Amino acid sequence: MGVSKTEFFTEEQNEIANLFKAMSHPARIAIVQYLLSVDSCICGDIVNELPLAQPTVSQHLKELKNANIIKGTIEGTAICYCLNPEIIKKIESYFGNISNHLSQKCC
């Protein structure tokens, strides 16, 4: 696989690309959708919602957490996850800018 040459792109472009990369798996989309439907949850709750083994779910959670899309807090022996509102607003803003641009122009 070739080098991505990220140094040629802006910090914002690299940040958005990393967010989309972290979201680019259906299991991660399912996790985000599940977290949207609840205030917060424990990893075991997510495992019960997905047709995946616990280690696989944990790996997907790790990817989302590394991208700061989700946050985790320790509650006893479990980790409770929730969406990171700051990052969700960045994603929303990115798509909002695209939508605004498209509504003003026609091809």
Residues 32-47: pLDDT tens digits? 999 999 877 787 789 9
In a domain, 2, yes or no: no
* CATH label of the domain that carries residue 84: 1.10.10.10
> Average pLDDT for residues 55-74, to the nearest whole number?
94
Instruction: Please give the share of the chain, as a percent, with pLDDT higher than 70.
Output: 93
**What does the DSSP assignment read for 16-42?**
HHHHHHHH-SHHHHHHHHHHHHSS-EE
* Number of separate helices (H) and strands (E) present in the chain: 5, 3
- Structural domain including 55 reads 7-104
| Residue 70 one-letter amino acid | I
In a domain, 35, yes or no: yes
> pLDDT confidence of 78, banded at 50, 70, 90?
confident
Q: pTM for the whole thing?
A: 0.84
pLDDT score of 107:
63
